[in-house]
Each structure stands twice: as C-alpha cells, then as structure tokens.
C-alpha cells in the first residue's frame, strides 16, 4: 500500500507543477497579472510545497477508501469529487475576495486549468492502480 501511496502522490505532484507553472506563469501570465491573482511576488517554492502536501493527502485519501481501487470509474469519481472540492476552494474564494478576478475570463481559465490538472491526475492514478 505504501508504494501505491507514494506513486499516487507523485501522480499528482509531477504533472501539477509544470502544468501550473506553464499555465499561470507562461501561457496566461498577462491575464493572471491583470487579475492580480499572484500579487507582486509569487513564490514557486511555496506553490510546489502546497502541491506536495495536496498530492500526499489525495493519495492517502484514495488508498484509505473502502472501495475496489483497481476501477477506472472509482478513480475518476474520486478525482472528480476532489477536483470540484479544490475548485470550490480556489476559484470561488478568489472571485469573492479579489474584485479583479471577478470576470468570466478568470472563471473560465481557472476552471479549465483545474479540469486539466485533475484529468492528468486521474489518468496517472489509473496507471498506478491498474498497471503497477
């Protein structure tokens, strides 16, 4: 079980950091700067630390669920629920607390980012539980 937990955490961490950096700091940087999403001095090490913590928690949570783990349906149900939870913890509060982020553009971009992030996580978690 420990191996699955470690690999599950890596399935979240490894794609999330480059995906997040590319999305927020490269591809759509001008938009996120306009929305003042990161303030004046974003910290990549802190973002990475958050992703490590998230990956560990998500992986342990999935491993401890009393379900058949070798199920694509169960994996994507879990990932979808967690994705909606993280969306409700990132997108909605950001729009509530930052007037610059209260745009359809922010809503669409950040929602699309999270869908991509959790789709990648789900696909890699399937590899961990179905093929390892």
For the chain, what percent of residues have pLDDT higher than 90? Answer: 95
How high is the pLDDT of residue 11? 98
Q: What is the tally of structural domains in the chain?
A: 1
Q: What is the 3-state secondary structure (H, E, C) of the chain?
A: CHHHHHHHHHHHHHHHHHHHHHHHHHHCHHHHHHCCCCCCCCCHHHHHHHHHHHHHHHHHHHHHCCCCCCCHHHHHHHHHHHHHHHHHHHHHHHHHHCHHHCCHHHHHHHHHHHHHHHHHHHHHHHHHHHHC
Domain membership of residue 64 as a residue range: 2-131
Q: Categorize the per-residue pLDDT at 40 as very low, low, confident or very high, splitting at 50, 70 and 90.
A: confident
| pLDDT at residue 42, as a whole number | 87
pTM across the whole model? 0.94
pLDDT at residue 93, rounded to an integer: 97
| pLDDT score recorded for residue 41 | 87
- Band (pLDDT 50/70/90 cuts) for residue 39 is confident
């Amino acid at each position: 079980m420990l191996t699955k937990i470690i690999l599950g955490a890596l399935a979240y961490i490894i794609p999330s950091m480059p995906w997040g950096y590319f999305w927020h700091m490269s591809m759509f940087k001008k938009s996120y700067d306009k929305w003042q999403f990161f303030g004046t001095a974003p910290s990549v090490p802190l973002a990475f630390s958050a992703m490590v913590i998230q990956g560990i928690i998500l992986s342990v949570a999935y491993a401890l669920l009393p379900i058949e783990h070798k199920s694509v349906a169960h994996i994507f149900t879990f990932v979808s629920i967690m994705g909606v939870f993280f969306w409700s913890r990132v997108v909605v509060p950001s729009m509530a607390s930052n007037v610059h982020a209260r745009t359809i553009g922010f809503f669409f971009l950040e929602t699309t980012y999270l869908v991509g992030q959790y789709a990648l996580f789900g696909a890699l978690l399937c590899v961990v539980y179905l093929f390892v």
